[in-house]
Structure 1
């Protein structure tokens, strides 16, 4: 069997309607992780959909209770063909956000896969049931094409709590490091750069949420009687925020800026255009860090956003000076940012500018990750993707958004390669979520080639990777 025959076999299987039938069954299980009423559906997803496929290929299954979320278990599946072969770790999550059934368009149901043109509608179709189903199907196709082997060792980690911020995932990866040990991480989540362009991304920006508050007094006072005499918390807070990020959206806190964009990252992002897909919002070319391209601002720089701002009663404004004001802000950041000390840096910056009344509270945060884009594993993946699709793939050093990639990159110490099978307008987390059939088919073709090629020359690829890392220290 050659790779061409294996891919042709996979495409015939897809075109027969088998993949659609599999995805329809998986979408039908309402695995909403936020709801305590969906525990049975979550168990059934493992028992009916994931377990049989893995057991048929000889995987050993280990179910692990979630230490932080009841009935949101993890599954580690392992198939070791030969310790001398390379080991691949992949990942997927079977949980979804709330279906929001009543708000879907007429004729659509979040739990019924519906085909309309190039779209398969259904909750989880894009995030993440459809994506990990593509990868599992590719593994199955390689296994069948090789007559009952893969040519590499394979480990799969599934969780059922990603949509509630992956509680327990980091702890599981810490505790079960040996069980999850591998040579390379290859998985799918998030969107492509665009529907037309296959994409490889190597990590994600981190995110830190923090609250700014001004608590001037316990009650409001009439603006006619006290205006000009009592400090207005809303005014103070608005000016404090403007001290952190200016009128052009440029971060003003030097201690929270990342290192300068490297020449290697600039070169990679010179090929990336953002905001060009129909339906995308119009980009403001004057917004964000000066001297950077839109792609560099999104994928290689830090940005502070105001997520909410509350003072007084917005629904029924009164002629009164409010006693309090609060805002929740967020810093999206790339590698090299001192995000762990954000509260200290913001506090010092505000104090230096006279905003002593503004309180700063750290809410939550996650690190940024980025695998070395000059590593031979990256060029290998891009070559296979281009050969599979006939298109030049987009390389993103990291997503603009966030994924729990740090557990794979930092805790498990793996080179992380993400090949998404969704696109920006998929309706992820919204009504009418869908995946494009054309991307799904192309994704299966790409993943079948990637897994096949790992079975053909995985050890030589890893040798080149280790030699490169030894020379560069893993830095771009």
Structure 2
């Protein structure tokens, strides 16, 4: 059978209801990793749903305990046609954020997949259950079209702790490096640049959260008695923040300004337009680093954000000079910025700028490094040609995602070229009530993945490059 057979079979999975049925069954498993009492559902998602589905495609699978967080297991599956053949590793995560029950529009239950026009609502639908379901069904279509032989091996890694920072993923990959050994990663997470434009990305921005605290004295003091005589920690911190990031969001700390926005990256981003789809906020064209386009700011530059800032009690203010102020900040950063150097650089900048009272400290969240594969890499160019062949559209090529995923586990620890094919869109409400996927995107994504899995077994595939 042919490539066209694989693509048509994948479309039929959608048209005949198979995709929606599989997704509904998976959404119904309330596998949130953010609620410790729900941890048994993580194991059930792997053993009752993912493992049997992969076994039906000829995979042998096992689950493994997490070395860093109990009750947050991993599943590893292998489909080995011949140990001498090249191998593709695929990845997904079966956990979700909290369900936010009672906060969904029209009384929807987050754990029941529901259709409204072109939208399929359900917790985990976009992040990440629909995405790895699409990849598995696309693989099934390609496998059948090739008569049960892909011409290469496939391994799958499904984690259940991504929404709590992927604890244990990196040591697990180090410990299981031989079991996970492969030649290429093909996976899906995150959004397309626009709902109707197939997208590829080859890494992600890193992230680190940190706190800035000014703690001058115990409690507040009456502003009539002490105003003008006592330093105000809120005023100090506001000015300290203004020394870090300018009025248009530009970064003022030289050590946090990247040097990796190369001509090749600019070229890759030249035809990108950010479109979050219906209901997405309008782009603030004059926000961010001057001289850059919005895509360059999101995918090629660092962004310093103030996530929260409190002094006194904004809900119940009193006429008192507060004794303390605190801000929680975040840096999203591209390749070239090292997370372990961020907080020391900020502390040094604040001392030099005259704010010795401000204490900078890393937040409890685990920082994640930035990764990037050259868009001209053979695997990147091959995947782009495959997507264009299936859809007739020139895909968007992003050197890295604007958000953050644990890609370093694959690119740095396992040493793999990484190709990500996202199947969601920026307006999907992931991590919030009303999370959903778009049915037209899912249908096209099924055909995209069937074509890509098929093409990886063809002559000219990067798997067989000398």
Give TM-score scaled by structure 1 length.
Answer: 0.94
Measured after TM superposition, the shift of residue 102 of structure 1 is: 0.7
Residue equivalent to 2:65: 65
Q: CA distance change for structure 1 residues 105 and 280 in 2, over 3 Å: closer, same or farther?
A: closer
1:107 shift after superposition: 4.9
Deviation at 1:181, TM superposition (A): 1.0
Give the equivalent residue in structure 2 for 1:13: 13
Alpha carbons 1:139, 1:150 under 8 Å: kept: no
Cα separation, partners in 2 of 1:463 and 1:145, compared to 1, 3 Å: closer
| 2:119–2:438 contact (8 Å) kept in structure 1 | yes
**Deviation sequence 1:148-187 (CA, Å, 0-9, x none):** 2222100000011111111111110111011111100000
For residue 397 of structure 1, what is the aligned residue in structure 2?
Answer: 399
Aligned partner of residue 355 in structure 2, secondary structure: coil
Q: Which residue of 2 aligns with 1:38?
A: 38
Kindly provide the CA deviation profile for residues 225-265 of structure 1, in whole angstroms up to 9, marking residues without a partner as x.
11111111000001111111111211111111110521111
Could you tell me whether the CA contact under 8 Å between 2:150 and 2:457 is conserved in 1? yes
* Structure 2 match to 1:286: 286
Range with bigger deviation, 277-286 or 255-264: 277-286
For residues 40 and 142 of structure 1, what CA distance do their matches in structure 2 show? 33
CA distance in 1, matches of 2:148, 2:232: 72
SS in 2 for 1:128: helix
Mapped to 1, the partners of 2:9 and 2:320 lie a distance apart of 72
Any stretches of 5+ residues in structure 2 without a counterpart?
Answer: none
Per the alignment, residue 346 of structure 1 pairs with: 346
After TM superposition, which residue ranges in structure 1, 4 or more long, deviate above 6 angstroms?
none
* CA deviation map 1:77-126 (0-9, x unaligned): 01111233221000011111111121112252211111222111111111
* Alpha-carbon offset, residue 276 of structure 1: 6.7
**TM-score normalised to the size of structure 2?**
0.96
Shift of 1:2: 1.0
TM-aligned CA distance change 1:248 to 1:175, over 3 Å = same
Shift of 1:41: 2.5
SS at structure 1 position matched to 2:306:
strand
Aligned to 1:440: 442
Q: Which residue of 2 aligns with 1:425?
A: 427
Alpha-carbon distance in structure 1 between the residues aligned to 2:123 and 2:440: 18
- Given that residues 275 and 281 in structure 1 are in contact (C-alpha distance below 8 angstroms), is that contact kept between their aligned partners in structure 2? no
Conservation of the 8 A alpha-carbon contact between 2:285 and 2:294: yes
| Cα distance per residue 1:313-344 (max 9 Å; x no partner) | 11111111111111111111000113311122
Partner of 1:470: none
| Alignment gaps of 5+ in structure 1 | 467-476
Q: What is the distance in 2 between the residues matched to 1:11 and 1:359?
A: 56
Partner of 1:119: 119
Secondary structure in 2 matching 1:451: helix
Instruction: Quote the Cα distance in structure 2 between the aligned partners of 1:117 and 1:182.
Output: 40
Structure 1 residue 45 displacement after superposition: 1.6
Inter-partner Cα distance in structure 2 for 1:346 and 1:25 = 47
Kindly provide the CA deviation profile for residues 61-85 of structure 1, in whole angstroms up to 9, marking residues without a partner as x. 1211012222211011011112332
SS in 1 for 2:191: coil
Aligned to 1:213: 213
* Alpha-carbon distance in 1 for matches of 2:216, 2:395: 54
Partner SS for 2:106 = coil
Provide the rounded CA distance (Å) in 2 between the counterparts of 1:293 and 1:439.
Answer: 26
What is the distance in 2 between the residues matched to 1:186 and 1:146?
19
SS in 1 for 2:157: strand
2:456 alignment partner in structure 1: 454
CA deviations on 1:320-376 (whole Å, 9 max, x unpaired) are 111111111111100011331112211111111111111111224210011111112
After alignment, is 188-197 or 252-261 more displaced?
Answer: 252-261
Offset, 1:463:
5.5
1 CA distance for matches of 2:199 and 2:119?
Answer: 19
Mapped to 2, the partners of 1:57 and 1:278 lie a distance apart of 37
Mapping 1:330-369, distance limit 5 Å: 330-363=330-363, 364-369=366-371
Aligned to 2:424, what secondary structure does the other structure show? coil
3-state secondary structure, aligned to 1:441:
helix
| Paired residue secondary structure (2:127) | coil
Q: 1:219 Cα shift? A: 2.2
Shift of 1:272: 0.7
CA distance in 2, matches of 1:439, 1:165: 27
The CA distance in 1 between the partners of 2:275 and 2:22, in whole Å, is 33
**Aligned match of 1:374:** 376
Deviations 1:391-446 (A, max 9, x none): 12111111111111111111111111100111111111111111111111111101
Residue 461 to residue 162, structure 1, CA distance change in 2 (3 Å):
same
Q: Is the 8 A contact 1:256 1:338 kept in 2?
A: no
Q: Equivalents in 2 of 1:360, 1:447: separation in Å?
A: 45
Distance of 1:318 and 1:290 partners within structure 2: 40
Structure 1 residue 131 displacement after superposition:
0.5
For residues 289-308 of structure 1, the aligned pairs below 5 Å read: 289-308=289-308
| C-alpha distance in structure 1 between counterparts of 2:42 and 2:278, whole Å | 36
Alignment match, 2:250: 250
